[in-house]
Amino acid sequence: MKKLLIFFITLNYWIFATYQFQIKNSVYAYNAENTHFNETRTTLTYFGNILQPEILILPNKKIKFTVGIGLFIPFDQEFKTAKYFPVIQTQLKFNKLLLNLGSLDSDHNFPTTVINDIAKTVDSIRIINNNRYQISRGRYEYGFQLKWLEKMFFGELYMNWQLKDTINHKERFDAGLINTIDFFSVPLYFAFHYWHNGGHENPHTISITENYVGVIGLRNKTFNILYHYSLFLPDRDGNSSLNFSGQGLYFDYLFNIGIVTIQPIGWVSDTYLNKNNKYFSAEGEPFYSRPFYLGLNIILNIPVTDNFILLLKFKNGTFQADINEKYNLKMIRYDQMIKFNFKYKF
């Protein structure tokens, strides 16, 4: 009798839950060009379409289940096979706390010096690390995520298990802690990112590689003034002489002229003080692993309808690849992105 009662209570719980169906569609073309060194992707073009249908199940105000699939269709030279990614998330709400289990919300409040912002667009990103091409994080993340959403105190703690990219069994994951405190309208910001790439089999062809990045400063939707420190261990359990660390200062500012957003960017590292120092984030934009970068981004975010948004973004910059090398006209980058976002709830 007790089991029957539990069954009917559970059945009633699901019958009277609220159900929503939504579709997210993103069509984009992203092109990155630089002719100076491979680490900044000599020529890299992404052109793809992501269709993501989802069912949202809301039994009450504190619980939300999301079940769906992300269909990625590439139109480029690197990934010729369509791929799919499961979207399965349980979200629990406790006052101002949100706990996500399974699929993560990949909108981590990191600057692009820590995580490349094209991660929110493509399914996976090609990077170079320790002289090997690898596929790192992308749009889809899985693990756990705790968010705190107080107006004056908000941030998150997460762990993301990433996809394997070699025939050997290995693990790759990253963890992040991000927090912003609105201290009398001063946006104090702190973030820490840990990246691990290793293997369980012994002997293993992949060295255990670790990357630690800490950031502190001022950050909001208009400007950033941030101090960075990083430590990179290319072979954690092997040759410690390969290890290096570095520091850097980053700033940017956003201002609008009509529908156009202008973003000047500046970066300088402590390589000028010590040539052995080098700031490095394994998943950040590679230009910030260089001594100097000066950029100017131009962004157009055009709402065509309530559900349809057109985004145009032009990322331009100049940099010094090495402190011992004279500046030349090859030390430029020019990226372009056009993106159509569609989201509809039924």
> What is the per-residue pLDDT across 245-292, written as a single tens digit (0 to 9) for each?
999 999 999 999 988 999 999 999 999 999 999 999 988 888 898 899
What pLDDT is attached to residue 118? Answer: 82
What pLDDT is attached to residue 130? Answer: 47
- pTM of this prediction? 0.88
pLDDT of 134 higher than 60: no
Q: Exposed e or buried b for every residue in 323-332, given b needs 16+ CB within 10 A? A: eeeeeeeebe
DSSP letters, 105-168, are: -------TTTS-GGGGTSS-EEEEETTEEEEE--S--EEEEEEEEETTEEEEEEEEEPPP-SSS
Count of CB atoms situated within 10 Å of the CB of 346: 8
pLDDT band at residue 209 using 50, 70 and 90 as cut-offs: confident
Between the alpha carbon of residue 103 and those of residues 4, 52, 344, the distances in Å are 33, 13, 20
> What is the per-residue pLDDT across 54-104, written as a single tens digit (0 to 9) for each?
999 988 889 999 999 999 888 866 666 788 899 999 999 988 899 999 999
Q: CA-to-CA distance for 167 and 17, rounded, in angstroms? A: 44
Every domain of the chain and the residues it spans: 30-42+91-345
Q: CA-to-CA distance for 88 and 71, rounded, in angstroms? A: 14
pLDDT of 206 higher than 70: no
| Topology of the domain comprising 30-42+91-345 | Porin (2.40.160)
Mean predicted confidence (pLDDT) in 137-164: 87
pLDDT band at residue 126 using 50, 70 and 90 as cut-offs: low
Average per-residue pLDDT for the chain: 85
Work out the percent of the chain whose per-residue pLDDT is above 90.
48
Q: CA-to-CA distance for 318 and 264, rounded, in angstroms? A: 12
The pair of structure tokens assigned to 3 is 């089991």
